[in-house]
Amino acid sequence: METDNTRESVLRAADELFYSRGVQAVGMDELRAAAGISLKRMYALFPSKADIVAEVLAGRTAVWNERIRAEADKYDSPRSKVLSIFDFLDGWFREDNFRGCAFINSFGELGATMPAVADAAHRHKREFVEYVTDLVVELGCQPTLGLQIALLAEGAQTTAAISESPESAIAARQAAEVLLDVGARS
């Protein structure tokens, strides 16, 4: 039990520090101090920084999936569920600690040098496209529309982070509505 609590302390501290400042900017000693444990104990729990990053990203996937589905669960129709992705994004972009997509950020920073980061990012993005594709197929649209809608969400995340414009979600939602209208007629 104590090991689980200690692991969670390290992962919470790592998530916050990595997301706000980047993985490479955070040293293991700083992470250890933020988690309130010894460096020896931290390395006993996590043999490498890559292990910590991979677990942080796994946690981020779980939170992302939970929040996306919670927003979608407010609706019955597949169309509304698809559009709810952008409603979720709009709320997220307006949070004080929004710093963009942790997967895009981590992949850009470490994807070429840390295979665990690349794998986590690939898996997360692939699962999101599959989720959106399932919804558009349920709506009666072609599966390729799933990737197109997912790209709007990805673009909105990047634009909102870089330009600090939360309204990116609203613009992407409007574009998704047009794609869904066209896709429903095809």
- Domain(s) labelled CATH 1.10.357.10 in the chain stretch across 59-185
pTM: 0.91
CA atoms of 183 and 186, how far apart (whole Å): 5
Please name the fold of domain 1-47. Arc Repressor Mutant, subunit A (1.10.10)
The pLDDT tens digits of the residues spanning 104-162 come to: 999 999 988 899 999 999 999 999 999 999 999 999 999 999 999 999 999 999 999 99
* Number of neighbours of residue 41 by Cβ within 10 angstroms: 15
CATH homologous superfamily for the domain 59-185: Tetracycline Repressor, domain 2 (1.10.357.10)
Positive or negative CA dihedral for 150, 115, 62, 160? Answer: negative
> Where in the chain are all domains bearing CATH 1.10.10.60?
1-47
